[in-house]
Amino acid sequence: MEDKSSAPSLLSFGSYRLGVHTPDADVDCLVLAPPHATRDDFFDSWVDVLKGEERVTELHPVASAYTPVIKFQMDGISIDLIFARTNNSKWLTEQRMKMTQPPLTDEDGQIEERVEMNVDDSLLVGLDETSVRSVNGVRVAQFLLDTFDGDHTRMNNFRLTLRAVKEWARVHGLYANVLGFLGGVNWAILVDLISQQNPDASASKLLHIFFATFANWEWPQPVLLSNENYPPEAPDGVKPLPIWDPNANYRDSKHMMPIITPCYPPMNSSYNVGEPQLRRLRDELGRASKLCEAVLAGQKTWDVLFKGNDFFKQHANYLQVNIIGTNEDEFRSWLGICEARMRLLIAGLESPSAGVNAYPFAKFFQRQDGDKYVSSFFIALRFARSRTAKRVKLGPLVTEYLQVVNSFEGRGSGMDLTIHLVSKSDLPSFVFVPDDVKCHGGVETIARTPLKANRNGNGVSNKNADESAKTPLPSSSKKRTLDEAEISPCSHSFLKQTAIQ
């Protein structure tokens, strides 16, 4: 008989576990291993196994990450694989044996929902901090689903609302935790709070309440799914771990938009949010709330939330950051470094003393320009009225970002970076090509949810986003380097920094 105590278990989390994933979404998985397996095995022998698998491409192990991860594609599906080792093989075996319930299927026999192993607090006994962080994604997803107590109607309303909120966030450039906005777990916690407070509401009603609630939320008041015994103590037998506590921790008290994970140890899942990102979130949530009111009044239909955004029409000046590579693999690595540090650039541009406010848009516009791979990121800039007659120096505001990315040891000769100030009238055409709305039974459904008798919304329809990936930068675009910008002259030495040679 097979010794099941020696085998690892694979658990999903994130959008796949919550049932709100799209066909092109990453699949987040946790390898829960028995005591004899180690994290070194995971990043050594297991990576070697993946290297030898023909179906696996774009393999990138990141052992030094805050939550170590192996990123790869299998059969074209992007997978993020993380690792944790339990100290109790008996517990692992018992939990696996309890998984006797068959998968939930639809009327055609297709699997609708995979039955997952139940992970309780006893799993945390003996785990180090890295392993606790690794299992937290699974525990949070399970907590959110458990709040519906098996009520499939409420759960489906939650899922439909979350799909709509996530698509709205993508369309409006608000979906990216690494860029200081909100990611999947953040949006899921917010929608779950609204769902629990309004158990009888339909998905369309939940969507309206969601925007009305968070458009007027008094940040930094935290979002908590449970106030019981907060801050919670460690479960019996679990080593006390650092938790989010603004009363005891000065850094926690400075967080701008705390959205607290509901499992031990409670952490702020949105600690990356800065003032520029919070400003845009407030603005867009407020606009969405007003659009919802217009829908409820019969003046508009739900698809207005997903038709696109007017970010590139709202501002007079934009900073365009072009990340360039001549080799596809090197470009991917270079883009990852520049993206991971982009919050430094955004924070540096937010300068009250210089009279500058930054408005970032959470999207990288990727395309090929001749033999070069190019990804462009845009930050709108607004200047204080008192500074309009002066020449604001932007050079010092971006220096820290440039110094950090320039220090990347793996940077090759084909990895380049340019920064330009572009006026609204001279923006490249690819920023105006709308993305496809990824309905997949979610956004389109809520767009067609009737709110009044004989009144249905229309389905969402946008042009194909492939054009934006293929459209080269028009040669007629008038890009102003920071030296040439009327509003921000810089020294010649800084110009050399911005156009990295």
The pLDDT of residue 484 is: 38
User: Phi/psi of residue 70, each to 5°?
Assistant: -110, 120
CA distance 431 to 241: 45
- Do 356 and 383 contact (CB within 8 A), yes or no? yes
Is the pLDDT at 498 greater than 50? The verdict is no
- Least confident window among 128-142, 435-449, 460-474: 460-474
Output DSSP code: residue 310: -
Q: Which of 155 and 115 is assigned the larger pLDDT?
A: 155
**What sign does the dihedral 86-87-93-94 (CA atoms) show?**
negative
Domains of the chain in start order, with CATH, are 1-146 (3.30.460.10), 150-300 (1.10.1410.10), 315-432+467-498 (3.30.70.590)
**What sign does the dihedral 379-385-391-396 (CA atoms) show?**
negative
What is the arithmetic mean of pLDDT over 438-463? 37
The pLDDT of residue 489 is: 29
**What sign does the dihedral 5-8-9-11 (CA atoms) show?**
positive
As a whole-number percent, the residues of the chain with pLDDT over 90 amount to 56
The pLDDT of residue 398 is: 93
User: 297 Cβ partners below 8 Å, 6+ apart?
Assistant: none
- Do 259 and 190 contact (CB within 8 A), yes or no? yes
- Do 463 and 434 contact (CB within 8 A), yes or no? yes
Residues facing residue 377 across a β-bridge: 321
What are 266-302's pLDDT values in tens digits? 999 999 999 999 999 999 999 999 999 999 889 999 8
**CA torsion, ordered 245, 248, 254, 258, to nearest 10 deg:** 10
Cα–chain center distance at 349:
22
- Least confident window among 204-218, 223-237, 263-277: 223-237
CA distance 238 to 385: 55
CA distance 21 to 163: 8
Is the pLDDT at 100 greater than 60? The verdict is no
Nearest CA-CA partner of 126 in 67, 90, 86, 66 = 86
Q: Which of 356 and 125 is assigned the larger pLDDT?
A: 356
- Least confident window among 177-191, 284-298, 316-330, 433-447: 433-447
- Do 79 and 100 contact (CB within 8 A), yes or no? no
- Report helix, strand or coil for 365: strand
What are 368-384's pLDDT values in tens digits? 988 999 999 999 999 88
CB-CB neighbours of 476 under 10 Å: 8
What are 138-163's pLDDT values in tens digits? 999 999 999 999 899 999 999 999 99
What are 385-414's pLDDT values in tens digits? 755 435 678 889 999 999 999 999 888 888
